[in-house]
Amino acid sequence: MKKYLITGCAGFIGSNFVYYMLNKYEDILLVNLDKLTYAGNLENLKDVEGDKRHVFVQGDICDRALVTGLFEKYDFDYVINFAAESHVDRSISNPEIFVETNVLGTVNLLQCAKNAWLADGKWAEGKKYLQVSTDEVYGSLGEDGYFMETTPLCPHSPYSSSKASADMFVMAFHDTYGMPVNITRCSNNYGPYQFPEKLIPLMINNVKHHKQLPVYGDGMNVRDWLYVEDHCKAIDMVANGGRDGEVYNVGGHNERPNIFIVKTIIAQLHERLQDDGIDEGLIKYVADRLGHDRRYGIDPTKIKNELGWYPETTFEVGIVKTIDWYLAHEEWMANVTSGNYQKYYEEMYKNRL
């Protein structure tokens, strides 16, 4: 049986990963270490309650004693680190926590894995550390070209700087100690369980409630969207087939300007809810994000050629599935948008709207 320490898997991508892996593998153990920050939510994992293949541990990836104890107890084969502070806007207001979790937390996990897996100068067989990273570490593209694994790191936001720093520590552990590692760098994800601070769920929620839709700048910034399940598939493939020490970019050539995304959500919800209060008049162009990266676009040739990965869900299908999910999970949205979210929204958008 393969034993995985997976971190941050009460969040958006991680909870989808738990479902993906438990559906795919019968004989597996997933130990899910999550601090349950504002972005972590046990409701996301309610469909695996009682499944003995999934063990939830509330805790911080920075906690040396806790993580060491987990290694002693479970003798993990893999560490897959999803845990992070993940929102660019929050990193602009409060960068320190991004350094703590994303950089120091990653280094702590690397140290614990090294302590457990390296003895007498030899690495135990069959172990791997996989860092879930982002295309944002490459910076921003102009109108042409794509991010390749060889593109130099050039992060701009505090979020992407912390992720780039973490990636460099992962490679440092590989280059210095010979630790078996991979890094995946994925484009923007969307799908079920995404916290409504990110573009797509925020817009779905606002449209439903006839609230203004804050589009930053001219709305022409481009993101390369990938349905979350296709990202989960890529992580599994890299964990189980990636060449040691390699980086794999993950993306499906689904580049769309932000305003296109917002208009698609409006049109879909207008039709689905037969609600005439839903129209493009809700759009409000607002002050741009500081240092806003203009365009992201992934070249996925390496993961396609080496591992046979391809995205299964087109944007057209994925966005409808996502909207359906949010419409069917009103209570989930109501819970995550109560309390602190209201404060966050007020703070983040009060000078914009």
List active site positions.
135-136, 159
DSSP one-letter code for 210: T
* Opening angle at CA 109, ends 50 and 249, nearest 5: 90
- Least distance in angstroms from the C-beta of 253 to ligand NAD: 16
Number of residues that bind ligand NAD (CB under 6 A): 31
User: And the tokens for 51?
Assistant: 């499944």
Among 127, 198, 208, 302, binds ligand TYD (CB under 6 A): 198
Q: One symbol per residue from 219 to 238: x for binding ligand TYD (CB under 6 A), - otherwise; what is it? A: --x-x---------------
The binding track of 239-258 with respect to ligand TYD, each residue x by CB under 6 A or -, is -------------------x
Q: Of these, 139, 155, 214, 252, which contacts ligand TYD (CB under 6 A)?
A: 214
Does the protein bind ligand TYD through residue 194 (CB under 6 A)? no
216 binds ligand TYD (CB under 6 A): yes
CB of residue 12 to ligand NAD, shortest distance in Å: 3
Q: Letter for the amino acid at 239?
A: A
**Identity at 202, one-letter amino acid code:** L
Cα-based distances in Å from 156 to 80, 258, 305, 327, 348: 25, 19, 30, 35, 20
Q: Which does 163 bind (CB under 5 to 8 A by kind): ligand NAD, ligand TYD, none?
A: ligand NAD
- Is 5 near ligand NAD (CB under 6 A)? no
- Span of 18-26, 45-53, 77-85, 314-322 interacting with ligand NAD by CB under 6 A: 77-85
Contacts (Cβ under 8 Å, ≥6 apart) of 24 = 236
* CA separation, residue 262 to residues 19, 65, 285 (Å): 28, 45, 11
- For the window 190-229, what string marks contact with ligand NAD as x by the rule CB under 6 A? -----x----------------------------------
Using CB under 6 A as the binding rule, whether residue 7 contacts ligand NAD is answered as: yes
Q: Kindly state whether residue 202 participates in binding ligand TYD, applying the rule CB under 6 A.
A: yes
Chain centre to alpha carbon of residue 255: 17
Q: Does 37 bind ligand NAD (CB under 6 A)?
A: yes
Location of structure tokens 């929620």: 205
Distances (CA, A) of 295 to 135, 202, 221, 264, 332: 11, 20, 6, 19, 31
Q: H/E element holding 7?
A: strand 2-7
Comparing CB distances to ligand NAD, the nearer of 278 and 318 is 318
Helical residues (DSSP H) of the chain, grouped into ranges: 12-24, 64-74, 88-93, 96-98, 106-117, 158-177, 199-208, 228-241, 258-273, 301-307, 315-328, 330-336, 340-349
Residue 166 phi, psi (nearest 5): -60, -45
Match 């995304």 to its residue by tokens: 261
Contact region with ligand NAD (CB under 6 A), list: 11-19, 296-304, 321-329, 339-347:
11-19
- Residue 56 binding ligand TYD, by CB under 6 A: no
CB of 219 to ligand TYD, least distance (A): 7
Work out what residue 223 binds among ligand NAD, ligand TYD, none; the CB cut-off runs from 5 to 8 Å by kind: ligand TYD
Give 203 or 278: the residue with its C-beta nearer to ligand TYD: 203
Tokens of 11: 């969040």
Cα 172 to Cα 62, 180, 238, 311: the distances in Å are 18, 11, 19, 30
4, 20, 82, 349: residue in contact with ligand NAD (rule CB under 6 A): 82
Binding residues for ligand TYD, rule: CB under 6 A, are 88, 188, 198-199, 202, 214-216, 221, 223, 258, 289
Binding residues for ligand NAD, rule: CB under 6 A, are 7-8, 10-14, 33-37, 39-40, 60-62, 82-86, 101, 105, 132, 134, 163, 186, 188-189, 195
